[in-house]
Structure 1
Amino acid sequence: MIRKMQAIALDCDDPVRLAAFYAELLGGRVVTDSEDADWIEVHGFEGVPLACQRAEGYRPPAWPGQDRPQQLHLDFDVDDLDGEEKRALALGATVLERTDQIRPGANWRVYADPAGHPFCLCLH
């Protein structure tokens, strides 16, 4: 029987950069084994740790197309959608879709992290 989820791992080409992005975005801290720069975790926020794993030949998802599908994405609750968007963009995220502007009543927006993984900021 599985007891609990241990971590969520994201493939990327630069685990150090991606872990720094998520640590700052989530108010967490980077945890690394000095001998293994290919696996870096982010701890210290509500939820399971987020791991950033080096993948040789990594190609980011092409959202929303399916040539290189996203396979997973992360959703984060926020109290201030505009404020958290500004913070995420300053940290290196890019806007994929301002869903709330094209779908009446939508309370989320879609972004890509520095490695290209889609994530959503969702108004709580």
Structure 2
Amino acid sequence: MSTGTPSAPAIRYSAVTFDCPEPAELARFYGDALGLPVVHTSDDFVMLGQEGAPGLGFSRLAGYQRPTWPDPSREKRAHIELGVDDLDAAQARLLALGAVEPPAQPQPDRWRVLLDPAGHPFCISTLV
């Protein structure tokens, strides 16, 4: 008879997946921004990543509707935080890759909110 506590199963963070209308387009944006290669692709899904590290996935969703942040009519469900060394330089690079700057910036001296090509808000910060 065992008197010990059963061991917990191993659980690892492996990826975050974003719904979008065009997985290849959104994967290109994040792949270029983060220097991540494509590790899997199909018509409806693209995964970016590095061997042994968590990745980013992009999944085609029929009828996808862009979040309207900061307008609450179609709230964001989640967003990614990216660490940068220089806010202005990183913002310029991401805008050149296809990001869009929304009209609202809650604390632009500490972090910036941008929208990816599918409309997902994401933040860049020197604090991360």
Letter in 2 for 1:22: Y
Q: 1:118 aligns with which of 99, 110, 121?
A: 121
Task: State whether structure 2 residue 82 is matched by structure 1 residue 76.
Answer: yes
Does 1:67 pair with 2:70?
no
TM-score of the superposition, structure 2-length normalised?
A: 0.84
List alignment gaps of at least 5 residues for structure 1: none
Match of 2:93 among 75, 87, 98: 87
9-18 vs 57-66, which moves further: 57-66
Identify if the C-alpha distance between structure 1 residues 116 and 45 changes in structure 2 by more than 3 Å, giving closer, same or farther: farther
C-alpha deviation, 1:98, in angstroms: 3.6
Normalising by structure 1, we get a TM-score of: 0.86
Aligned residues: 118
Measure how far apart 1:2 and its partner are: 5.5
Which AA in structure 2 matches 1:63? W
CA distance in 2, matches of 1:64, 1:50: 24
Counterpart in the other structure of 1:50? 56
- Deviation per CA, 1:63-115, whole angstroms, max 9, x where unpaired? 012211101001011001111101000000001234444xxxx4100000000
* Secondary structure in 2 matching 1:67: helix
Find the counterpart in structure 1 of residue 19 from structure 2.
11
Name the structure where strand makes up a greater proportion of residues. Answer: 1
2:59 partner letter? Q
Q: Partners of 1:44 and 1:91 in 2: how far apart?
A: 21
Q: CA RMSD in A?
A: 1.9
Highest Rg: 1 or 2? 2
* Structure 2: distance between partners of 1:11 and 1:84: 24
Query: Which has the larger displacement, 22-31 or 1-10?
Result: 1-10
